Amino acid sequence: MMKRYENLDLISTKKTFSDFRRWQKERKTKQKDLSYQVPHVDPPEYQQLHENQANTLLSWIGHSTFVIQTNGITVVTDPVWAKRMGTAKRLTAPGIAINDMPTVDIVLISHGHYDHLHFSSIRKLKGNPHFFVPVGLGRLFRRKGYQHVTECSWWDTVEYRGTFFTFVPAQHWTRRTLLDMNTSHWGGWIIHTDGQPTFYFAGDSGYFRGFREIGERFSIDYALLPIGAYEPEWFMGPQHVTPEEAVQAFMDCQANIFIPMHYGAFRLADDTPQEALDRLVSEWQRRQLDLERLRCLKLGEVLNCCG
């Protein structure tokens, strides 16, 4: 029998069919304005990723997909360039076309949900990357022919050419088929190198005490935290933070800079990209936090994290 993984404190994210029907019934009563689209940077900046020799650079492709260059290597998180997610069309094009991407050394996977793990996108990445994945997910990669795969449990640290990757907890769940629910784990990643900025890629998570422990263990410069797919909160709450909870998570993990993600690409819940951003900024201002510490990136924007 396959092992089933759990959250801290055994927090459950399971929903009944009745819960799902209630959500769908509610959804029909809502009128949502989907006209806002996350802007793309203009003119394109991706050429910097091909020319970079020494800087630490970060660019948001969309949803939970980032490209991070640090210590001479190129890292991609949760690579998804899909044009559709199920029956829903992508709301905005990826910030950088996959053909314009640099060669990739490392791919980090937070969990197995399709909006975070898209094998059609992975097959199109340039290079022969090494995959760091949650425990339980390696067999799927190997079944699909990938050999450079390392599985990690929470708090495991792996090294690649002087850069360290630590798999850290999240509060979520996963499933790709009817029979494999929670047979692999979920989490986020800390990317840390001596003398370079430290990144916390949170993956997908509800609000939980783990954010504080992560902040206690690491000195985080950039926190890449989700803000979308939270409505209705009674349904999404255990598995997706609200924008307000994301701000609290940022404070818990004691990071210097907040970069929001997990919004704007796919309509996974009832909230809109504009609503998520408005609530995020409102909570930021309510707490009187320094606006320079909130970086809402444009799609394809390249951020120099050294200066």
d(CA 168, CA 110): 9
Please list, in sequence order, all residues whose beta carbon lies within 8 angstroms of the beta carbon of residue 88, skipping any fewer than 6 positions away: 266, 267, 268
Q: Which two tokens stand for residue 198?
A: 């430290």
The answer as to whether 16 is a domain residue is no
In a domain, 146, yes or no: yes
> What would the pLDDT profile of 250-274 be if each residue is shown by its tens digit?
999 999 999 999 999 999 999 999 9
In a domain, 55, yes or no: yes
Q: What is the pLDDT of residues 146-156, one digit of tens each?
A: 999 999 999 99
Q: The CATH number of the domain where 56 resides is what?
A: 3.60.15.10
- Burial of 175-195, coded b for 16+ CB within 10 Å and e otherwise, reads ebeeeeebbbbbbbbbbbbee
What pLDDT sits at residue 72?
A: 95
Domain count, the chain: 1
Q: How confident is the model at residue 307, as a pLDDT?
A: 56
Residue 11 lies inside a defined structural domain of this protein: no
- Is residue 15 included in any domain, yes or no? no
Domain assignment of residue 212, given as a range? 39-304
Using alpha carbons, select from 299, 236, 252, 290 the residue that is nearest to residue 23. Answer: 236
Rounded CA-CA distance 121/111 in Å is 15
pLDDT tens per residue, range 195-204: 999 999 999 9
- Domain annotation covers residue 3: no
| 277 belongs to a structural domain | yes
Q: Which two tokens stand for residue 71?
A: 């210590």
| Any domain includes 17 | no
CA–CA dist 289, 285 (Å, integer): 6
CB 285 within 8 A of CB 47: no
